[in-house]
Amino acid sequence: MQKKHGWKLFFTLPVLSWALYDFANTIFSSNITTIFFPFYVQEIAGGSERMDQIASTFLSYANAVSSFFLVVFSPLFGVWIDRSGRKKRYVMSFAMAAIVFTALMGLIAPQNLGQFGGLPASFTFVVILFVAAKFFYQSSLIFYDAMLPDIGTKETMPVLSGFGVAVGYMGTLVGLTVYVFIGDGSFAKAFLPTAFLFLIFTLPMLFLYKETAGPIQEKRTFFTGYRDVWETFKDMRQYRPIFLFMIVYFFINDAIATAIAMMAVYAKAIVGFTSGEFILLYLVSTVSSIVGSFIFGYVTQAFGAKKAVFYVGLILFVALLIGTFAVKRPMFWVTGSLFGISLGAVWVTSRIFIIELSPENKRGQFFGLFAFSGKLSAIVGPLMYGTITLLLADYGDIASRAALSSLMIFVLIGLIIHRKIPA
């Protein structure tokens, strides 16, 4: 546990190397999940109002499939944490897998492999590789989040969580430098440089972070995690606050995960942003995320994680409301800024809340369940969004606006349930 306080705490070797992995994986998240892979999908599958909706469906379903695999495996990951008491080895293994698949996306995309279903066959392979890369990236985060109690105390964890998220969003600024070399076309050229940057900033944790193993529980079998999920569901009365929060997180994360995945295509196809304008919008949103994560680290420390989560939900709802009805660029600039604040703050507040609510001997299991709740929503949200755009594709832009508006309903449900969590 870290004993230092003030700014010195942020620059200790364990904290800095831990935070730099947030820097590294956010490069993947911004470049691949949010910007250049969606641009690539629209570049290959879009082109008209109707086909832009079909491209949105492709993108939504790819994200949903990746999240499906994470839902299947996240209970097992909780067992690995509790059984070994270690997290770093798993963070590194999954990170390296994500880096390899991202690099393969860049190598396969320009290849001429013929046609499949009226689209380049290479496009199909790139989508499959994206599903794998995103799965491994998301898997690494389960173990990464569970490392927070190892580097901080109860008093310092809120601020450390905010610091990690802020450093992560600074990684976005570095990641976006690849745009200088690709411009407004051939967006697949961004995949290989992104893999390289992801690797470079993962190395500090690999070589500099010295892990102290947490408490090791009794030997647990491969299927223990799934049995634990079932047993914990049966014990809902005993863990009622954490289950209510997981339901809240399900609905709020539904909106966030889907909006992250669809933001680039929506801004370009519906609001009329160029690629360059969206990059600038995303930079502004990133700065908002950095500010939001730092501020909400202190908000959480001052008012508690429960109230902080509620405030994040309110900001997210307003962002989605303005975005749904945005007809001019200035409205979407406001949306991007508010969404950036909520995006940066949600990771800070939710990580701390889950730690506050979890008994120490079940923390790994509850982080697995936390991921289970969030990633289950990351299936439902994109599936819903993609299905709406598919069914209403003949109506053009109305399809995407209807899909985005549906996310407000999820946020409202989450906020209502949030009020039922015991103080």
Residue 215, domain member (yes or no): no
Q: 411: closest CA among 257, 234, 224?
A: 257
| 358 found inside a domain | yes
In a domain? residue 116: yes
Query: 252 vs 90, 137, 211, CA distance in Å?
Result: 27, 21, 32
Q: What is the CATH number of the domain that holds 331?
A: 1.20.1250.20
3-state secondary structure of 116: strand
In a domain? residue 259: yes
Contacts of 26 (CB under 8 A, 6+ apart): 168, 169, 171, 172, 175
Q: How many distinct structural domains can be found in the chain? A: 1
What pLDDT, on the 0 to 100 scale, is given for residue 96?
97
Identify whether 423 is part of a domain.
Answer: no
One digit per residue, pLDDT tens: the chain, 423 residues? Answer: 444 555 666 667 778 888 899 999 999 998 999 899 999 998 888 777 787 888 888 899 999 999 899 888 877 777 777 676 678 889 999 999 999 999 999 999 999 888 877 788 999 999 999 999 999 999 998 888 888 877 777 777 777 877 877 788 788 889 989 988 787 678 999 999 999 999 999 999 988 887 766 555 556 565 776 777 677 666 656 778 888 888 888 899 889 878 878 888 899 888 888 888 998 998 888 888 778 888 888 888 888 888 999 999 999 999 999 999 988 889 999 999 998 899 878 878 887 888 888 777 766 667 666 766 777 788 888 899 999 999 998 888 889 899 999 999 999 999 999 998 886
Q: Residue 388 contacts by C-beta under 8 Å, 6 or more apart in sequence? A: 399, 402, 403, 406
344's CB contacts (< 8 A; 6+ apart) are 165, 166, 169, 288, 289, 290, 291, 292, 293, 296
367: containing domain = 14-208+220-418
Q: How far apart are CA 296 and CA 244, in angstroms?
A: 21
